[in-house]
């Protein structure tokens, strides 16, 4: 049974700070979800995940997270991933603390 592949981004936690990071198309790690590479092809997704897994001194626990194309780049589709782009609900901590407002 094959399901149609839905778009993904590669995400992980930063080894030193522990915060959420995303893999960009030009092989960088970014803290901004909209800068991530939106991967639409399953074989390519596996390659990108392997690339991430090959950097254990930089990232922890890389995985593929559902995403979709948005006006400014990829957007998360699941609420868990949405929370990971922001930070907790109860304090302005996490990414929202440093948000470039």
Partner 1 sequence: MYDYNAFDRAFLAERNAQFRHQVERRIDGSLTEDEFRPLRLMNGLYLQLHAYMLRICIPYGTLNPGQMRRFADVADRWDKGYGHFTTRQNIQLNWPKLKDVPDILDSLGEVGIHAIQTSGNTIRNTTADHFAGAAADEIEDPRPVAELIRQWSTDHAEFQFLPRKFKIAITGSPNDRAVTRAHDIGLRMVRRGDQVGFEVLVGGGLGRTPMLGAVIRDFLPKADLLPYLEAIVSTYNVMGRRDNKYKARIKITVFENGIDTFKAAVEERFGETRAQFSGVDQQILKGIEAQFAPPAFRNAPTEAFDAALAADPVFRAWADTNLTEHRAPGYAIVTVSLKAHGATPGDASSAQMRLLADLAERYGHSELRISHEQNVILPHVHKSDLPTIHAALAREGLATANVGLISDIIACPGMDYCALATARSIPVAQEIATHFRDIGLEQEIGALKIKISGCINACGHHHVGHIGILGLDRAGVENYQITLGGDHTETAAIGERAGPGFAYDQVVPAIERLLRAYLAQRAEPAETFIDAFRRLGPAPFKAALYPEEARDAA
- Give residues 49-88 in contact with partner 1 (rule: CB under 8 A): 56-57, 60-61, 77-80, 83-84, 87-88
# residues near partner 1 by CB under 8 A: 25
For the bound state, the minimum distance from the C-beta of residue 92 to partner 1, rounded and expressed in Å, comes to 10
Helix (H) / strand (E) containing 75? strand 73-76
Q: Which of 26, 89, 100, 101 binds partner 1 (CB under 8 A)?
A: 89
Nearest to partner 1 of 44, 97 (CB atom):
97
Considering the complex, what minimum distance in angstroms separates the CB of residue 1 from partner 1?
19
* Sequence-separated (6 or more) residues with CB below 8 Å from residue 73: 33, 34, 35, 36, 38
CA-CA distances (angstroms) from residue 85 to 4, 42, 53, 70?
26, 23, 21, 14
């Amino acid at each position: 049974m094959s399901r149609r592949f839905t778009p993904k981004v590669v995400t992980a936690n930063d080894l030193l700070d522990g915060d959420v990071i995303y893999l960009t198309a030009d092989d960088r790690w970014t803290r901004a979800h909209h800068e991530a590479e939106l991967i639409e092809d399953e074989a390519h997704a596996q390659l990108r995940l392997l690339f991430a897994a090959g950097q254990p001194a930089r990232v922890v626990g890389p995985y593929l997270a559902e995403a979709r194309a948005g006006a400014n780049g990829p957007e998360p589709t699941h609420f868990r991933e949405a929370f990971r782009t922001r930070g907790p609900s109860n304090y302005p901590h996490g990414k929202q603390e440093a948000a470039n407002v």
